Amino acid sequence: MSPDRSQSAYAASAAALALRALEALRGTEGTALVTRHVEEADDAKAALAAIRVVGADLFAPCLLADVSFHPEDAAAVAQSFVVFPPPVNTLAPPPTGAAEPWITAWRDWATATLLAHRTGTRTDGIRAPRPAASPADLGLADSAAPAPAPVPGGPGADWQRWSVRMGQLSPLALPGLEGPVHAAARAAPLALARGATRAVLRRDFPTAMRITRWLALLSSEGVRLPLDPVPLVEHLRLHGGGPRLALDAAIARRVLGLEIS
């Protein structure tokens, strides 16, 4: 299989698994959804890669809709870490280290943490990246408000880059997880609101929805926000964007205490 076809297969598999998670959140999908996704796939390796891509959001039905996480699903998630092992070394955050592998490491941490907490299944070698994901680590110089100056050596204002990275970490925006990334979100709700608004104006609805998930989580915790996330979620979910955006919207609505359809 060519690299382009491989990437296409992985993306299609991730979209299909996101749809299964969405249906489970709605109550229309049965149990062992992860295992069935692997067993029914034409490409088992792509299906296992999809588990890593959807990641912690596979636990959303368990956390938000009181759906049990099937033991066979736990085994499938654990197998995905065997087939696609994470880096052995602890990764430095940007700008010292590369952003993409560091973000992936945090997403892996979230998946492994929920797997252990909800099923007792533990994966070897999954550690939270260090140093901690404070706003400064993520590119925001001041923990209380966006810094006005651009990141040295990089384009754009700090809050823009930071909010996009927080959007990439949206699978951590789930009840049942707690860590430095969550502390960073609570410390800068204005930056998140600005980032979501900017993404909407740019018609980048997937990014806007991912950032809005953090606003939804903060709202559920009683954090005072500069905007109401409910109409924002309702607006974004009407723009389509495939199973991934639909799953993000459904998770945000459940976190906000709204019914999903």
Alpha-carbon distance of 172 to 182, in angstroms, equals 8
Q: In terms of pLDDT, which residue wins out, 161 or 87?
A: 161
Burial 29-68 (b: 16+ CB within 10 A, else e): bebbbbbbbbeebebebbbbbbbbbbbbbbbbbbbbeebe
What are the pLDDT digits (tens) for 180-198? Answer: 899 989 999 999 999 999 9
Residue 210 has pLDDT above 60, yes or no: yes
- CA pseudo-torsion sign 49, 53, 101, 150: positive
Average pLDDT, rounded, for the chain: 84
Q: What are the structural domain ranges in the chain?
A: 132-261
What are the pLDDT digits (tens) for 126-154? Answer: 665 654 444 444 443 333 322 332 332 23
pLDDT band at residue 225, thresholds of 50, 70 and 90?
A: very high
Half-sphere exposure of 32 (CA within 13 A, CB side): 8
Instruction: Quickly tell me which residue has 């799953």 as its tokens.
Output: 247
Q: H-type helices in 126-188, by residue range?
A: 158-168, 180-187
Q: Are 173 and 248 in contact (CB under 8 A)?
A: no
Q: Which residues pair with 157 in a beta bridge?
A: 150
CB atoms within 10 A of CB 120: 9
Residue 236 has pLDDT above 80, yes or no: yes
169-178: average pLDDT? 95
Instruction: Quickly tell me which residue has 């979910």 as its tokens.
Output: 237
Alpha-carbon distance of 129 to 165, in angstroms, equals 15
pLDDT band at residue 5, thresholds of 50, 70 and 90?
A: low
> Where is 9: in which H helix or E strand?
helix 3-26
What are the pLDDT digits (tens) for 78-130? Answer: 999 999 988 777 667 777 778 888 889 899 999 999 999 888 877 765 665 65
pTM as predicted: 0.86
Which DSSP state fits 91? Answer: P
Q: In terms of pLDDT, which residue wins out, 74 or 91?
A: 74
Alpha-carbon distance of 249 to 234, in angstroms, equals 8
Q: Are 157 and 148 in contact (CB under 8 A)?
A: yes
Alpha-carbon distance of 129 to 19, in angstroms, equals 29
Tokens of 143: 């923990």
pLDDT band at residue 35, thresholds of 50, 70 and 90?
A: very high
pLDDT of residue 134: 46
pLDDT of residue 124: 64
